[in-house]
Structure 1
Amino acid sequence: MPPQSFDTSGGSWRMVLAMLLSGTIGLLVVESGLPVMLVVWLRCLLGALGLAAWVAYSRQWLRPTRAEVGWLAVGGLALVLNWVCLFTAYGHSSIAVATVVYHVQPFILLLLAAMLGQEAMPVRKLPWLLLALVGVALSSGLLEGGHAASWAGVLLALAAASLYAVATLATQRLKRLSAAQIAMLQMVMGVLALAVPAWQLAASAQFSAKAWAAVAVLGLVHTAWMYTLMYAAFQRLSAQAIAGLSFIYPVVAVLVDLLWFGHHPAPLQALGMVLILLAVWAYRKGKS
């Protein structure tokens, strides 16, 4: 599809809104006060229901083949475990640090693709990978005497990014199915995979009105609606425009962490976050 004007295609406002919503996911997770595993299960359940309604309305349903069901299972399990790791990371470091470290996804995807023989590792990308790794080390806070929990949060964010890369590679094998149907079925996989631990946690969880509101918004707005916004934006915008607007997500997450929770990163942590974003921006700019 040739590049289209932002004003005429409507892709830019959809992408901006989707990224603004993404940046506030951490706020909803923390404010729900519920166990992470339960939050993820409810997000999968509500997101699957919302996306199922959209798939039915837009008539995008196709019956998956046996091979596609296998890749859906791999991608779905990786996707929900990615959320478990990322949401858990919020409590060990901060929303800002976890979100920015999570954005090393492109480099992890590049490494996995090279390991699987799908794509050669371009030498010109290595300096940006090294810069991102330096940023990760600084973001941990350990160089400034930070608590070991900060490092645990960084490791969980890296694990989340790795799982998301696995989900991406699995999804690339599903070219026949629509993106909305893939996301819906992956979330159904998540509902099934996390059903037992989620029900066990639900028995002792405190479901306040605030908790219900947070998970409802997370599942219906920040999952089902946000996915449809992103898919529509992807169809209308160039890769360069998508890469540029994607940086709204970590910036909003940093602002939420600063203004809502009052978390101020130490100077070296802030420098590390800037280095990560710079490395990812340079990498994506080179791909566009």
Structure 2
Amino acid sequence: MGSVEAAAERRTGILQLALAMAVVGTVGVFMEESGQGPINAVFFRCVFGALVLLVFCAARGWLGGLRLAPRQWALILFGGICIVLNWVAFFAAIRHTSIAFATIVYHVQPFWVVLSGAVLFGERISGQKLGWIAIAFAGLALATGIGSAGTEPGQLLGAGLAVLASLLYTGTVLSTKALRGVRPHLTAMIHATTGIVLLAPFVGVADLPATPGPWGWLAGLGIVHTGLVYVLMYAAYPKLPTPVIAVLAFVYPASAILSDWLVYGHQLGLGQAAGMGLIALASLAVTLGWRLWPARRVAAAG
């Protein structure tokens, strides 16, 4: 591929991923406007999302890829359970706090992947990474106000649910990393289908919307935030280097904070904004390999 074509493909990937992240940032607004509790909202997100991804995969002729080995099915189903429960916990966190606050706390997620790699697979964590992780969790403490006298119990519960959501998403990340030979669109479709089966017994039928408006918001959770977003993300990732993906990932919290302010008038406090800044800085640093202190010089042999 020539340099002009490569540059054009990279620009396309940047636009696709930036749009996907900006859309994901509005997911909390769709949930709130639907008027549904976390379980109902996630259930219909799965229903509409699975349908969109089924149609997309069928149109591409990819459904034959569902002939999978037992290990592949086990990894996908485990990842599906984790991501569905992650959505439920995150929506519950929003109910107890705000979209912006829950999103800030949720973004400690990349550090769970690093720590779980050390615990589960014996991967070595350098002192540099440990330092950045410490900075991220200092940012988390600053953003949540843990330890301060004015922290409300509801805010602490919301923060705990957001942390739980980030831990659950780590399970999806690890299972997907271990998965080989399966198109990510098919994996996402199975994840959504898993959510339908998992949550169906717990749907509050009496609470379902009686008017078309809320159904539109519920459909949007599946069609837009699951179907469209996954298609855009998986189209963008192969076109972009890791540093660009890492930077564009922060379009998501920026979009969430902006939408929460524009729609509900929620503004971040100084401590929350500073905490978000530390988490963002540390996340980029770990992904891009930035150093907290200079490398130690090794004396040349005489």
Partner residue, 1:151: 156
The equivalences for 1:1-288 within 5 A come to 5-9=6-10, 10-61=12-63, 62=65, 63-117=67-121, 119-142=123-146, 143=148, 145-198=150-203, 201-286=204-289
Q: Is the 8 A contact 1:136 1:154 kept in 2?
A: no
CA distance in 1, matches of 2:133, 2:38: 30
CA distance in 2, matches of 1:42, 1:265: 30
Q: Is the 8 A contact 2:49 2:226 kept in 1?
A: yes
Deviations 1:31-50 (A, max 9, x none): 11101101101111111111
Q: What letter corresponds to residue 187 of structure 1 in structure 2?
A: A
Q: Once the 2 structures are TM-superposed, how far is the Cα of residue 206 of structure 1 from its aligned partner?
A: 3.2
Pair 1:144–1:284, CA change in 2 (3 A): farther
CA distance in 2, matches of 1:84, 1:224: 18
CA distance in 2, matches of 1:82, 1:21: 18
**2:180 is paired with a residue of what secondary structure?**
coil
Deviations 1:213-258 (A, max 9, x none): 1011110111101100000000111111111111100011111112
Q: Once the 2 structures are TM-superposed, how far is the Cα of residue 5 of structure 1 from its aligned partner?
A: 4.3
Q: What letter corresponds to residue 160 of structure 2 in structure 1?
A: L
Q: Is the 8 A contact 2:90 2:165 kept in 1?
A: yes
CA distance in 2, matches of 1:230, 1:182: 13
| Residue ranges of structure 1 left out of the alignment (5+ in a row) | none
Q: Is the 8 A contact 1:141 1:147 kept in 2?
A: no
Pair 1:127–1:208, CA change in 2 (3 A): farther
Q: Once the 2 structures are TM-superposed, how far is the Cα of residue 8 of structure 1 from its aligned partner?
A: 3.5
Aligned-residue identity in percent: 37
Deviations 1:108-131 (A, max 9, x none): 011111111152222210111111
| Residue ranges of structure 2 left out of the alignment (5+ in a row) | 291-302
Q: Which moved more, 1:1-10 or 1:109-118?
A: 1-10
CA distance in 2, matches of 1:120, 1:245: 27
How many aligned positions are there? 285
Q: Is the 8 A contact 2:209 2:215 kept in 1?
A: no
CA distance in 2, matches of 1:8, 1:234: 11
Q: What letter corresponds to residue 185 of structure 2 in structure 1?
A: A
Q: Once the 2 structures are TM-superposed, how far is the Cα of residue 195 of structure 1 from its aligned partner?
A: 0.8
CA distance in 1, matches of 2:210, 2:130: 47
CA distance in 1, matches of 2:17, 2:122: 29
Pair 1:134–1:2, CA change in 2 (3 A): farther
Q: Once the 2 structures are TM-superposed, how far is the Cα of residue 144 of structure 1 from its aligned partner?
A: 5.8
CA distance in 1, matches of 2:122, 2:7: 33
TM-score, structure 2 normalization = 0.89
Pair 1:159–1:180, CA change in 2 (3 A): same
Q: Once the 2 structures are TM-superposed, how far is the Cα of residue 197 of structure 1 from its aligned partner?
A: 0.2
Pair 1:81–1:134, CA change in 2 (3 A): same
**1:50 is paired with a residue of what secondary structure?**
helix
CA distance in 2, matches of 1:6, 1:97: 37
TM-score, structure 1 normalization = 0.94
Pair 1:162–1:272, CA change in 2 (3 A): same
CA distance in 2, matches of 1:7, 1:90: 38
**2:181 is paired with a residue of what secondary structure?**
coil
Q: What letter corresponds to residue 247 of structure 1 in structure 2?
A: F
Q: What letter corresponds to residue 114 of structure 1 in structure 2?
A: A
